[in-house]
Amino acid sequence: MRAAQGRLVLATFLGILSIATSAAPSASARRIVSLGGDVTEIVYALGQEGRLVCDDQTSLYPPAARQLPQVGYLRTLSAEGVLACRPDLILASEDAGPAAAMAQLAESRVPLVHVSNAHSPEGVLAKIAQVARPLGVSTRGEALEAQFRAALAAAQARVRLLPGQPRALFLMSQGPGGALAAGRNTAADAMLRLAGARNVAEGFSGYKPLTPEAALALQPDVIVVADYALKMLGGSAALRARPEIASTPAGRTGRIVPMDALLLLGFGPRTPEAIQELAAALHSEGARTAAR
């Protein structure tokens, strides 16, 4: 009886060990699925794009990423769609979902690596390490981190030379019918601060619908808007004509700044570039883009 129990314990241990081993990331992985535009961008920046077999609909940069088979939108994935790519490694942003699909992927025998989504320069450095390590390119990761630090220092030095602190508001689309303002604890809030601006919506957390009353109280001098959201809202002229925008200083002067959403909010390797581009637009009267 004891011998049989011993064999059972050993078999159970070996089974657990087998599962644990199969779920461990391998630097030799050749079929990688990347979930998250920032994650995909880091894979390319590390020179490992040849190992990608699928990505998701938020993977828009570099343009070559759009040519890969896409498994769906980042927050509405299906485990079946991801596993259909026959990956031997999945790199997933913490924003990936829904939770049920991610749980299914975690239970599969395919290694799943979660990549943080912190909205800060330090968060970008963490992402680079979290992607480089399971790919077995830690040395390249360290080089990319050094490059990022140098570019960030240059961007921050330029921001410190800019005068004043513009009163800015970031908007995202809530469909054709309305816009959402970005408050505290959002990627947009973090970027406005990094670019030397004051977020006039810092009085609340997350995203909230922008009503005419709220816009009148916030009184932004400049409005930053995601490029795709601006299209959904009908363009700059249509945005300026909206009641909640027309009464603001930004609406009256036409200081509407469209920006690439992934560049601005992705917190990836191009974040220093985004900081400089946003800062230049926010601190310049040339930020008027009503013709767009």
Distance of alpha carbon 64 from its chain centroid, rounded? 18
Angle formed by the axes of helices 138-160 and 121-135, nearest 10°? 170
179-182/167-173 β-pairing: antiparallel
Give pLDDT tens digits for 232-266.
888 888 888 888 889 899 999 999 999 999 999 99
β-bridge mates for residue 184, sequence order: 205
Q: Is the pLDDT of residue 29 over 80?
A: yes
The answer to whether residues 172 and 226 touch, using CB atoms and an 8 Å cutoff, is: yes
| Phi, then psi, of 10 in degrees rounded to 5 | -65, -45
Q: Is the pLDDT of residue 59 over 70?
A: yes
Please calculate the CA angle 69-138-72 and round it to the nearest 5 degrees: 20
Sketch out the chain's domains with CATH numbers: 27-154 (3.40.50.1980), 164-287 (3.40.50.1980)
| Phi, then psi, of 184 in degrees rounded to 5 | -65, 165
The answer to whether residues 120 and 272 touch, using CB atoms and an 8 Å cutoff, is: no
CA distance 205 to 182: 8
Q: Is the pLDDT of residue 290 over 80?
A: no
Residues 6+ apart with CB under 8 A from 30: 51, 88
CA distance 225 to 206: 16
Q: For the chain, how big is the Rg over CA atoms in Å?
A: 23
User: How confident is residue 179, by pLDDT bands cut at 50, 70 and 90?
Assistant: confident
- Three-class DSSP category at 161: coil
Q: Is the pLDDT of residue 173 over 80?
A: no
Give pLDDT tens digits for 93-152.
999 999 999 999 999 999 999 999 999 999 999 999 999 999 999 999 999 999 999 999
Count the alpha carbons within 13 Å of 76 in the hemisphere toward its beta carbon: 3
| Amino acid making up residue 220 | P
Q: Is the pLDDT of residue 9 over 50?
A: no
The answer to whether residues 97 and 114 touch, using CB atoms and an 8 Å cutoff, is: no
